[in-house]
Structure formats: structure tokens, C-alpha cells
Amino acid sequence: MAIFDQAIRRLSLSLSRRRSSLSFSTLSSNPLRVCVVGAGPAGFYTAEKMLKAHQGAEVDIIDRLPTPFGLVRSGVAPDHPETKIVMNQFSKAAQHERCSFFGNVILGSSVSLSELRELYHVVVLAYGAESDRALGIPGEYLSGIHSAREFVWWYNGHPDGKNLSPDLKSTDTAVILGQGNVALDVARILLQSTSVLATTDIASHALEALEQSSIRKVYLVGRRGPAQAACTAKELREVLGIKDLYIHINEVDLHKSPEDEEVLKNNRIHRRVYELLSKAATSAPSHPSSSQRELHFVFFRKPDRFLDSGEGSGRVAGVHFEKTMLKAVGPGKQIAVGTGSYEDLDCGLVLKSIGYKSVPVDGLPFDHEKGNFKRKEKIKGWCTLSDHFCWMCYFIHEKRYKAG
């Protein structure tokens, strides 16, 4: 509570220093006052650029958590410490004399957007996308089904993730929906040897749970094919290189359509990913040894519903998939369409890694379907040149997890 009071006191001090006329002048008597909501990479890069571009600009970065850095702290996998080095650069920015960080300030409850508009010339919303896209299929709320985001928060020690307590002991199979970098991260954490994980920054409650985990088989399931996989080469190579791990990819899935060939020709990232998957498919032994853990890449499967064990346990027991095929809908764009043929995969743990949604804030129109702000809509009273400016930070909606 004391921290909360302190934050409000500091913001009130800012209010008393506020000048009524907007000026981008370099005079320190009328500095540009900027509030950046969200202390993750988007917020910090914005703050850095503002400090550099405007002499005398004062930037306050606020965050709902007591600690800064957002996804760099809570999203980057614990065995990727080199990606976190950027915190040094952010710390330098925060130590700048015209920059301040306020933790424990929640937009919406500690302070409202309209209050921030009163206090600052510029408000930048860089608070990311902390909610999940839902599949909207039956059984989605059975226990044993989590979003990958929650699972990542759990093993990274995020304060909102510590009570997740995923059950890793009642099953040997996990199904991960999605094949992006986050999906690979969670697969790797489930399959990596705990002696390796013990040398990382992983949260201790997660390490304990993983040491007792009975999970030996992980399926990474995508709706489309290897040429559309959303992961990147570095992460894929890393997961394929886990010691003593049996990798299985159906060679039939590697078949390329003419549209696939076109995509692979023009897109370096997809080409390198496809080549890695292709090599893994053709060089793998035909079956695993008894002690090996297994990673299966499954393509062309769309989840239709979740199966429960039928004993009223309320726990997930498998996923009912519809087989798909690709249909070209535009230049370079193919979508997955159902074929009417189905297949089940038994499992006791499901992690949905299908993308994020942002959370709305009072005072701005929000597109609930897309999970983002209505960027193109003219908002009356917001962008009046004579008074205040408000920018949406384009990092709000994370369509794709950036490498690391």
C-alpha cells in the first residue's frame, strides 16, 4: 500500500508541475511530458527514442508490476539468458535523469486513462497483450488445459503465474496446440533434462514440479504444414538438438504444393525452418528406444473438441482433431480447411499456444473480436492538435512471438 501511495504522490507532483500549453520546445521550463504505460521492451524502446528525440522531454514509465521489463523478464525462456541482456540497455534508460519508473501503478485502478491525459502531454500505451485467444470449442475449460502464456508465467516466476500448479504427474503425454516459438519453448521446458534446467533462472516451484513430471511424450500440433510453421530456425534447431530426444515427423507431411514452393523460394525464414524439419524427418531412427523422451511434430490437424475421461473427473483425456488440407486464398496465402475426417490424440495435459489478445482500457474503443484497439477509428477528442496527443504503441498486440 505504501508503494501505491508513493506512486500517487509522485504523480500528483507531476500534475502540479504541468504546463497548460503544449510545447515541444527545448526550454526546460516547459518540457514535453510523456507517460509510457508498460515497462516492457516496447515501453523502454519508446522511452529511449523520446528521450533522445526531444531535448528536455521527461518520460515516466509505469507498470502494474513492481518490477520492470515485461516479457524480457517473464516471457523469455530461462535457458535463454543471452536474450535478457537487453535489460542492461533498459536500465541505463531508466537511470537517465529525465526518466522515471513507477511500479505497482495499474492503469484502470491506480490511475485512469483520463487522469493520465491530464497529467501528461503524451500517453503511450505499451502494455502488451496479456490475455489469450480462445479456441471456442467444447471442453476448453476442462482441467489440464492451460494457455502457454500461463505456463510460461508459471515457470518464469511471474507473480500472477505462481498458483497455476499444472499437473505433470498424472499423464505421460502433453499436446501443444501451435507451432510458434512459444510452443517450442514450452515443449523444450517439458522435455529438457532437469539437470540442465537446474542451472537456469527457472522458478524453483517449476523445477520441483518438472523433476517429478511423468511427461515423456509431447505433440506439437499445427493446423497447416511445415512450410507454414510459425517458429524460427534458432528455436527449432535448439529443440531438435535436445540430448537423447526422439523426434518424429511424418514424411508424408513434407509434401510441398506449388504455393508452398513459392513461399519457400521467397521467404528465408520459412525456407530454413522447412529444411530443418525435412532433415529431422528423414534422419530420425524408425522408433524410439525405451528410455527416450519423444517429440512429435503433427501437421494438418485442427482441434475440434477436447475429450474428457468420461468418468466425470472434469480432466482432459485427449483431443479430437479434424484433418485439414491447404486452400489458397490469395497470393502466398493458404488457409487450413477441414476434410471431414477425424483423429484422436490421447493426453492429460494440453497447452494452447495460439496467440494473444490485449485487454481493453476504459476510454478507448476496443475490438473484442480481434483483441486489439480499433486503430483506424477516429476517436473524438483524442487527437486534437491544440491540446493532447495520444499514440497507440504498435507493440500492444503481439501477433507473433519474437525470437527468444
Partner 1 sequence: MSRSRLFSRIGAGIVKELSRGQCTAFCRTSFIQRPYSARWQPRVELYPETKGHRGTISQKHRQFSSTATSSDSADGSDLNEMISVAFVDKDGEETDIKVPIGMSMLEAAHENDIELEGACEGSLACSTCHVIVTDMEYYNKLEDPTDEENDMLDLAFGLTETSRLGCQVIAKPELNGMRVALPAATRNFAVDGYVPKPH
Judged by CB under 8 A, which stretch of 78-86, 174-182, 219-227, 363-371 contacts partner 1?
A: 78-86
- 157: contact with partner 1 by CB under 8 A: yes
**168 assigned ligand-binding residue:** no
Closer CB to partner 1, residue 265 or residue 268? 268
Instruction: Label residue 246 exposed, middle or buried (CB < 10 Å: 0-12, 13-18, 19+).
Output: middle
End-to-end Cα separation, the chain, in angstroms: 35
**400 assigned ligand-binding residue:** no
- 404: contact with partner 1 by CB under 8 A: yes
Judged by CB under 8 A, which stretch of 213-221, 232-240, 250-258, 357-365 contacts partner 1?
A: 232-240
**Backbone phi and psi for residue 376, each to the nearest 5 degrees, phi listed first:** -85, -10
**64 assigned ligand-binding residue:** no
**48 assigned ligand-binding residue:** no
- 181: contact with partner 1 by CB under 8 A: no
- Applying CB under 8 A, which of residues 80, 205, 256, 388 lies at the interface with partner 1? 80
CB atoms within 10 A of CB 120: 24
Positions in 255-294 near partner 1 (CB under 8 A):
268-269, 272
Please report how close the Cβ of residue 158 comes to partner 1 at its closest, in angstroms: 8
Interior CA angle at 229 toward 231 and 400, to 5°? 50
Instruction: Label residue 97 exposed, middle or buried (CB < 10 Å: 0-12, 13-18, 19+).
Output: exposed
Alpha carbon separation from 92 to 28, 124, 155, 283 (Å, rounded):
22, 20, 27, 47
Please report how close the Cβ of residue 107 comes to partner 1 at its closest, in angstroms: 21
- Applying CB under 8 A, which of residues 8, 22, 87, 135 lies at the interface with partner 1? 87
Q: Name every residue whose Cβ is closer than 8 Å to that of residue 208 and which is 6 or more positions away in sequence.
A: none
Q: Which among 205, 173, 204, 170 is positioned nearest to 190, based on CA atoms? A: 173
Provide long-range contacts, Cβ within 8 A and 24+ apart, for 234-237. Answer: 234/403, 235/181, 235/184, 235/185, 235/403, 236/184, 236/273, 236/276, 236/277, 237/276
Closer CB to partner 1, residue 46 or residue 173? 46
- 73: contact with partner 1 by CB under 8 A: yes
- Known binding residues: 42, 71, 107, 179-182, 223-224, 235
What does the binding site for partner 1 look like in residue numbers (CB under 8 A)?
45, 67, 73-74, 78, 80-89, 156-159, 201, 203, 232-234, 237, 268-269, 272, 383, 394-395, 399-400, 402-404
- Known binding residues for NADP(+): 179-182, 223-224, 235
